[in-house]
Structure 1
Amino acid sequence: MTPPNAASPKGTVAHAPAAAAPAAAALHPAAAQGAVPPAPASAPRAAPAQPAPTARDHGIMQGFPPAPEAIPGASNWDLPPFNRWSFCNMRNLFPTADVQRGTGPVRTLPSAQQELRAIRFPTLAGTQQTVGDWLGSSYTDGFMVMSRGRVVHESYHNNMASHQLHLSQSVAKSVVGTLAGVMHGEGLVDLDTPMPRLVPELAHSGYAGATLRHVLDMRSGVRFNEDYGTPGSDMTRIDIASGWRPTEGGHPPATIRDVILSLPQERGHGEDFHYRSIETDVVAWALERAAGASLADLLSDRIWSRMGAERDAYFTVDGAGTALADGGFNATMRDYARIGLLLLEGGAWNGDQIVPEDWIRASASGDRAVFGEPYTATSPKGAYSRQWWVHDAARGDFMARGVFGQLIYLDPKTEFLAVKLSSWPDFLIHSYTVDMLSAVTTIRDALSPS
């Protein structure tokens, strides 16, 4: 569900499987408008290869009916090659709750298309790769770049279309963190309130002494083992509770909130940042209690219906109807760009101050002293604040990231944003994460040379 860091958390696979060959897509002719940085002589160019296979190439869900072996199942829908289809078709697999866009105007995204595919960027392997080769090799489903309020690149891959909603994985966390900012601005929640005052059931859990601030910044002392696919891990338990994995041993599944209440405290609250997906679900529970409404309705009322979204979004939900706040959010690529643009522009649109400006500034900064290994493997100058990753705390660029290659990257300094939707062949691939950030920051610098 979530990208803890560029390196692997304990027990988590974070290598590139053999299937993840660095391949090149069929590209348009390179015609970058003088913005292509030259490759240093010391950096060899990566050899192009074949593009990553699409869901259609694999035959996933092709035919009427599809072959049994081509149908995603409860235990493999998010694994290769099935995730190449599943991430754009979550509603076909799981129960969901709508986040309605309402009846307001759709925000227009002006276009000023540029050819970016010939831009070269440095890879973790020490080579230079073009953006075009990277889009083909990195299991891209969609990629969008906006500079100074205009779309300069928008492309769809793996048979994805612009109207399709894509699973965000842990990009959902940043969406929920932004909702918390709106509700904080309304006075509905206070960051220093002890969690049991917001959700009394937490009084007998590991969250008993934590505040909402601790949980938003993932600095509570609660134990949550983030190991993906490991039997018995807390991550596997939440996957089962959310309906994303089959139950074990024929037992009825716990709910997301049953899992929350079972987690013990293992260290002091307020210590160093430690990434745990469950924290977002705890934040969502507090927001629902504070407002007396579901997470989907709160997000619709406070943000989605006010920011000019073009389509309804949705969350996957567990057996009790609880939204999977930490990773179950789905939207179109253009709507992911719209929420990014909202934050880039100070939280206001169409005469409406939607997200408080001070909340956005706080989300783009953070305490570097509590942000250490392994998280610095991706962002050496980074931090984490209010459910957002800060890439360079001095610069103030920040991002939402999700496993399998989901990204919303924002740089207020240059009014730049990038959205990357992917279906990588593994939860975490360190080189893919580093190269993704290298690609978008190189594009940023090419479009806004200093």
Structure 2
Amino acid sequence: MFAHPTLALAVAAALAMPLAATAAEGPHAGAAPTSSQPATNLPQAWPESVGVDSRPLVQLSEWIRKENLDVRSFLVIKDGKLIFERYSKGLNRDYNYELYSITKNVTALAAGVLVDEGRTRLDEKVAPILSKARPDLKEALADKQAIELRHVLSMSTGLFYNFKPTDDPIYYGAPDRLKLAAETTPKRPPGEAFDYTDVNPILASATLGADAGMPLQNFAEQKLFKPLGMANYAWERADDKGLVSSGWGLRLRAVDMAKIGMLVLSGGRWNGQQVVSQAWVRTMTAPSSAPWYGLYWWINDIVPTEPETHAMGFKGQFIVALPERNAVVVMTSMLPIEGGLRESKNVLAIRHMVKDFVLPALDNAQHAQLTPASKRALTRELELAAQHQGQPGAPVDPTDAPKPPKR
């Protein structure tokens, strides 16, 4: 295991700052920007009212339009307040998005609740749990007896799955994903090395669901989605046996993605309640199988110069938590996927956006002046952004369409 005291200390320090614990409070009088967006239970404020210079954020939005990027939402939260909320394509805050691998990060939080409640353990062996739930898979799981939940959550099970380049049944139209995962071949001992494979979140979903005594999506709704006041959420793409994957299929609104980041910054507290323990948040965001990977959470891969942890999804979905700055950045998008897991073009894009626009905005408090001109500039740019269409940089799947609430 790798030690990461700096990030842990920064997360702990964030507890002393007003963030998720005050999320239900209304905005300060005169501080929040007017908005035609549907209501949210997050406080809102002009950037300058919390010491943030809105000019780099306006420049970020202009750059997105100039590059014609398909960035569907981009949010910045500072000190528990929603200070920048950009949508494109005529979308608004009520739409939800396919989050792809950010589903893993929410799964890690659900696992923490189960650990806190004594219903699972990181050293729990997954094969006996799954064999009990699915006796028909006992033989297939026989060579996986050493795999623990910690290996599943840290991408270090050592399992090999021969993915097909397109339309792999593990993703599309799977009649029984757990059977596919159970029949994979161990290629190295558990815990030996990081290997990012989507077999692992299938094992996670089935194991945690068995420990919870209900489908994982139902447990997450009870313990996370409802307590955090989320709306228009859905966990889709279950297989024919009703098993969702912990690696994709979760749909959240951008404002509810922000709550996930805020929950991490607050050490698991929301509105004065401990949703998941501070100890679990520290464990989840500390390096495990690699210096830059914890339990489904990435570490210092967007901002390497200060404590940072983030959730990352295929095609450009991100939740970036910056503990020292008490800030969260959220993006949903359809950006290019070429370049590999940690160096894909969408990862390079979010690094550029945070480093060259968001951090300068957060760092320029001495010039953060709330004036009629700054309000007009921000309002006008967000109006232009709302009509911007952007060109998708990745193949578009039907599930990539943002969805409004069901009426």
TM-score, normalised relative to structure 2: 0.70
Q: How does 1:32-47 map to 2 (within 5 A)?
A: none
Q: How does 1:15-164 map to 2 (within 5 A)?
A: 107-113=41-47, 119=56, 130-134=60-64, 137-164=68-95
* Corresponding position of 1:42: none
1:139 Cα offset (Å): 1.2
Q: Which has the higher mean CA deviation after the structures are superposed, 385-394 or 301-310?
A: 385-394
1:225 Cα offset (Å): 4.3
1:343 Cα offset (Å): 1.4
Matching of residue 389 in structure 1 with residue 298 in structure 2: yes
2:237 to 316, 319, 328: 316
Task: Render the CA deviation track for 1:137-166: whole Å, top value 9, x for unaligned.
Answer: 331111111111111210111232221111
* Corresponding position of 1:219: 156
* Corresponding position of 1:193: 124
Distance of 1:286 and 1:447 partners within structure 2: 43
Contact 1:169/1:328 (<8 A) preserved? yes
Structure 1 residues 272 and 320, CA gap change in structure 2 (3 angstroms): same
* Corresponding position of 2:400: none
* Corresponding position of 2:332: 421
Aligned pair count? Answer: 311
Q: How does 1:278-297 map to 2 (within 5 A)?
A: 278-297=199-218
1:438 to 342, 352, 363: 352
1:426 Cα offset (Å): 4.6
Contact 2:233/2:250 (<8 A) preserved? no
Q: How does 1:325-344 map to 2 (within 5 A)?
A: 325-344=246-265
Partner of 2:144, secondary structure, is coil
Structure 1 residues 160 and 203, CA gap change in structure 2 (3 angstroms): farther
Contact 1:404/1:424 (<8 A) preserved? yes
Contact 1:112/1:152 (<8 A) preserved? yes
Contact 2:157/2:190 (<8 A) preserved? yes
* Corresponding position of 1:59: none
Aligned residue identity for 1:388: W
Partner of 2:127, secondary structure, is helix
Distance of 2:150 and 2:305 partners within structure 1: 22
Q: How does 1:230-379 map to 2 (within 5 A)?
A: 236-240=168-172, 243=173, 253-367=174-288, 370-371=289-290
1:360 Cα offset (Å): 1.1
Distance of 1:276 and 1:203 partners within structure 2: 22
1:134 Cα offset (Å): 2.8
Distance of 1:366 and 1:445 partners within structure 2: 24
Distance of 2:202 and 2:267 partners within structure 1: 26
Distance of 1:394 and 1:225 partners within structure 2: 37
Distance of 2:62 and 2:157 partners within structure 1: 41
Task: Render the CA deviation track for 1:54-104: whole Å, top value 9, x for unaligned.
Answer: xxxxxxxxxxxxxxxxxxxxxxxxxxxxxxxxxxxxxxxxxxxxxxxxxxx
Aligned residue identity for 1:111: A
Task: Render the CA deviation track for 1:184-231: whole Å, top value 9, x for unaligned.
Answer: 1111101111112322246633533211111110011110345652x7
Distance of 1:269 and 1:386 partners within structure 2: 15
Structure 1 residues 327 and 107, CA gap change in structure 2 (3 angstroms): same
Aligned residue identity for 1:132: E
Contact 2:53/2:361 (<8 A) preserved? no
Partner of 2:119, secondary structure, is coil
Partner of 1:435, secondary structure, is helix
Structure 1 residues 165 and 130, CA gap change in structure 2 (3 angstroms): closer
Contact 2:202/2:246 (<8 A) preserved? yes
Partner of 2:346, secondary structure, is helix
TM-score, normalised relative to structure 1: 0.63
Structure 1 residues 276 and 182, CA gap change in structure 2 (3 angstroms): same
1:409 to 320, 341, 347: 320
1:413 Cα offset (Å): 1.3
Matching of residue 168 in structure 1 with residue 99 in structure 2: yes
Q: Which has the higher mean CA deviation after the structures are superposed, 317-326 or 172-181?
A: 317-326
Structure 1 residues 388 and 202, CA gap change in structure 2 (3 angstroms): farther
Partner of 1:204, secondary structure, is coil
Structure 1 residues 341 and 359, CA gap change in structure 2 (3 angstroms): same
Contact 1:131/1:439 (<8 A) preserved? no
* Corresponding position of 1:204: 140
Contact 2:299/2:310 (<8 A) preserved? yes
Contact 2:154/2:194 (<8 A) preserved? yes
Contact 2:77/2:328 (<8 A) preserved? yes
Task: Render the CA deviation track for 1:308-343: whole Å, top value 9, x for unaligned.
Answer: 224443333222221132110001111111121111
Distance of 2:361 and 2:178 partners within structure 1: 45
Q: Where does the alignment leave 5 or more consecutive residues of structure 1 unmatched?
A: 1-104, 121-128, 244-252, 372-381
